[in-house]
Structure formats: structure tokens, C-alpha cells
Amino acid sequence: MSNETTLNIEPDANAAIKAECRNFGFYYGDFQALKDINMPLYDKKVTALIGPSGCGKSTLLRSFNRMHDLYPGNRYQGEIVMQPDNTNLLAREVDPIEVRMRISMVFQKPNPFPKSIFENVAYSLRVRGLTNKSELADRVQHSLKGAALWDEVKHRLNDLGANLSGGQQQRLCIARALAADPEIILFDEPTSALDPIATASIEELITELKEKVTILIVTHNMQQAARISDFTAYMYIGELIEFGVTDQVFIKPKNKQTEDYITGRFG
């Protein structure tokens, strides 16, 4: 197998790079889960990570907010450089908490805290030391609107987050991720636990969010990747096989393996 990533990018003059993996690798203990990944994330675009189960999509996604630092034995290699400040997020001297304050995350299964709807969203602000009541209320409202949830919950902000439906819970988690104005939001298969209607509303939301923030999303659903992403990265056993403009990757994949996966011949 070639180690060379196939790049499939039309010259896209107005897309700036928000972050970039450079010779990035990752180890769970002795097991190398990611190898030599070079991939840009374009500013205020949606980039989809696709590939067969176990190929390392979540591992790559969770490297961006240094989630792997929570567990012993994990090791990063290479760099993930964030712009405009040119910070290597993986550098030893960069605090993972600082990284997580700039890059927020939405999980596969909705994971609202067992707190009120209000407190769930406010939590991102509280960890940043915000205590002013009216400012908290304003920003919670703003985030809930941004997550297209406000109208459904404005009269029950003190209800438990867990009392919402699955799709609403996921939008609550998106509101929580939005609350502190992140530069990038990471989504790990955010609709895999949801029904088609809730999925559609999350997809629509993601398309709206990219006006303001850069998005990296893992999905196992080809149609979803085709519908919502601007760029697509196809991974296979820890390697990035092809990266390119979504339309190009789906219509004219340059790599045979990508084509086989997309057309459903394996995976």
C-alpha cells in the first residue's frame, strides 16, 4: 500500500487553513493506531472523516482536543498546527485544557450532564470563570438559538437535560459545545444514535454552523458525508488514503480503494 496520500483538491483560492496535521501519528501504548497523517482543515468548512470501522477516525478526531491525554500510555507523534497563531496543539508546553477551550467536541451518544438544560449549556462558560447571571443567561440563550433548540426549551430551562428527546439532547450538547465560541467543533458520529428526522435537523444545523466555525466530523454514513461536507478524508487502517473536495472524492475518486469503499464494494 502506498504511503502517499492522494490529494484531490481543486485549487480553492478562498479557503484558508485553520489547522493542519503534519506527519501526525498516534499510539495506544505499543499499538500504532495512526500513521503519518498529513491533512488540512479548511477554515469555516466542514471536513468529513470516512472509512471502515476501526480505521482510526475517532482516534484522529480525539487527537485534536487532546482527549487521549486523559488516559495513560497514549502517545502523539508529529504535529497538529492551529492557525492563525501557528500553535502546535500537541506540544508539551501547550496545556490540553487550553486546546479544549479552543476546540470543543460533540460525542457519538448524547451525553448531557444530569443537570438542568440551562446548566448544561452554562457549564462551558462556568469553567471559564463566568459568573455574571445576566451574561450567563444571554449567552446560554444565544447558544441554544445557535443549536436550533431555543424555541423548544425556552419555557423549561430548569428541566433536566435528560428529559429531552435524543435529538434534542444532541442539540443540547451542540449548544454546550457552541457556548464558549470555539474555533473548531469536533463531531464523532453525532447522528448514529438518532432517528432520521433528528438526523436531518442535526445535519441542517451543522451546515448553518460552518458560517462561524470550522467543523471536523466523523461519519459512517456516505450520504451524510456527501450532503454536509466540503472536504472528505478517506482513512484505512490508520492511514489517510485520500483527501479532497467532497464532490471530487465522491464523483471522481483518484484512489481505487476510496472508490471501492464509497461505492459500497467493501467496508
Ligand X SMILES: Nc1ncnc2c1ncn2[C@@H]1O[C@H](COP(=O)(O)OP(=O)(O)O)[C@@H](O)[C@H]1O
In 10 A of CB 92, how many CB atoms?
6
Q: Report residue 247 as a C-alpha cell.
A: 464532490
Judged by beta carbon, residue 62 or residue 176, the one nearer ligand X is: 62
3-state secondary structure 42-83: ECCCEEEEECCCCCCHHHHHHHHCCHHHHCCCEEEEEEEEEC
Instruction: Tell me how far apart the alpha carbons of residues 71 and 222 are, in angstroms, rounded to a whole number.
Output: 31
**Is residue 56 within the footprint of ligand X (CB under 6 A)?**
yes
**Is residue 66 within the footprint of ligand X (CB under 6 A)?**
no
Q: Which of 58, 74, 169, 255 binds Mg ion (CB under 5 A)?
A: 58
Which stretch in 44-52, 53-61, 108-116, 231-239 sits in contact with another protein by CB under 8 A? 108-116
Q: Which of 19, 33, 122, 149 binds ligand X (CB under 6 A)?
A: 33
Residue 190 CA from chain centroid, whole number = 9
**Is residue 78 within the footprint of ligand X (CB under 6 A)?**
no
**Is residue 229 within the footprint of Mg ion (CB under 5 A)?**
no
Q: Which of 53, 86, 131, 134 binds ligand X (CB under 6 A)?
A: 53
**Is residue 72 within the footprint of another protein (CB under 8 A)?**
yes
Q: What are phi and psi of 75, to 5 degrees?
A: -145, 135
User: By CB under 6 A, what part of segment 94-133 binds ligand X?
Assistant: none
Q: Which of 6, 47, 124, 191 binds another protein (CB under 8 A)?
A: 124
Packing angle between helix 166-178 and helix 117-126, nearest 10 degrees? 20
Q: Are strands 17-28 and 31-42 parallel, antiparallel or unpaired?
A: antiparallel
**Is residue 172 within the footprint of another protein (CB under 8 A)?**
no
Q: Which of 126, 142, 145, 212 binds another protein (CB under 8 A)?
A: 126
Residue pair 56/45 in contact (Cβ under 8 Å)? The answer is no
**Is residue 54 within the footprint of ligand X (CB under 6 A)?**
yes
CB of 206 to another protein, least distance (A): 17
**Is residue 131 within the footprint of another protein (CB under 8 A)?**
no
Position of cell 483538491? 9
Instruction: Tell me how far apart the alpha carbons of residues 153 and 18 are, in angstroms, rounded to a whole number.
Output: 33
Q: Which residues make up the interface to ligand X (CB under 6 A)? A: 28, 31, 33, 51, 53-59
